[in-house]
Structure 1
């Protein structure tokens, strides 16, 4: 298991003015009965799991069908994303590194000190990604954590854990599922999930996902 970490790159901040205003507005709308907390949760969940990660899913699908782009993505992710019209992965100056999963190597991403995350391509970070339990256990016992997510890897598989920072974020390039050799890029997008790009899951298997 490898673990990359840079203490100086982590900057847990108090809520920004925009975040504070957003929370105040949410509380006011709920208080006046204009929206329920359940509706807010549903919208956030939709953005976290469906809308937000769609950009990343398109990047993965394109890498699966275009070997030259895939190589560029693995060597210089920011430049490769620029080719697709994606000019940001987070705050200004943030670099992205893409990690390829293979039959023998599995990568997973964590941020041990805060919750650094490539939100511009993966959307909002899930609640569990920000939890102290995931942030600590992913480094110490990654195989157990993956098992709890429903991912059982062969004992011989090497698991690399990568620690994000404020200036360097990571995204996993999951393995392309077998049996999709003749699939179009648009169809492949449906197999890529947020969790597979964090590394706590694999891409959907066509027969199991119904796509």
Structure 2
């Protein structure tokens, strides 16, 4: 009934063309441009749309910024509301009942299972997406990224960092190799 090539084209679009690269571009712009970051805080929907990323589960957006004091984590407890236009296809675990319930009850434990151990004094704020509102985490900008352009900064941002189950990657180390991105 449906041409498999059409389905493959849609999946390819969300995995490689749309995907988390759009969100990484938003994050890199926020890290590089204080005016854009301020706009993103005030009206994420408009700021993100200004970059051409709208529609398909991302019509109404809110950006939440990680800080030295607070780490943000996104979940949808009722189903799997997810901003496709900026993050691409949702990961399977995002839709799993275990993640959806435990992220609210034990966010620190869930993050530890993802390999993210935060300092005990760092607050974790859990945001519950809805059919009306989707969230995008703006991770903390990694140290040592001063002078990097937006494209290089975007390369440090993973989908998981924009959900809050990871942090942004580190820049090229002094040895010349890039540390593993979360």
TM-score (norm 1): 0.75
Q: Deviations over 1:25-72 (max 9, x none)?
A: 55xx9xxxxxxxxxx7xx969954885101000010000000000010
Structure 1: which 5+ residue stretches go unaligned?
Answer: 1-20, 30-39
Give the conservation status (yes or no) of the 8 Å contact 2:116–2:166: yes
Partner of 1:196: 161
Q: Residue 53 in 1 paired to residue 53 in 2?
A: no
Distance 1:96 1:182, change over 3 A: same
Partner of 1:102: 67
Superposed displacement of residue 159, structure 1: 0.2
Superposed displacement of residue 90, structure 1: 2.0
Give the conservation status (yes or no) of the 8 Å contact 1:99–1:173: yes
Superposed displacement of residue 79, structure 1: 1.3
Partner of 1:78: 45
Superposed displacement of residue 83, structure 1: 2.3
Aligned equivalents of 2:165, 2:101: Cα separation in 1: 15
**SS of residue paired to 2:146:** coil
Give the conservation status (yes or no) of the 8 Å contact 1:78–1:95: yes
Superposed displacement of residue 209, structure 1: 3.4
**SS of residue paired to 2:119:** coil
Q: Residue 175 in 1 paired to residue 140 in 2?
A: yes
Partner of 1:36: none
Aligned equivalents of 1:142, 1:76: Cα separation in 2: 27
Structure number having the greater helix percentage: 1
Aligned equivalents of 2:155, 2:125: Cα separation in 1: 26
Ranges of 4+ aligned residues in structure 1 off by more than 3 Å: 43-51
Q: Deviations over 1:139-190 (max 9, x none)?
A: 0000000000010000000000000001100010000100001111111110
**SS of residue paired to 1:156:** coil
Give the conservation status (yes or no) of the 8 Å contact 2:20–2:86: yes
Give the conservation status (yes or no) of the 8 Å contact 1:49–1:194: no
Partner of 2:180: 209
Give the conservation status (yes or no) of the 8 Å contact 2:73–2:164: yes
Structure 2: which 5+ residue stretches go unaligned?
Answer: 174-178
Aligned equivalents of 2:160, 2:77: Cα separation in 1: 17
TM-score (norm 2): 0.86
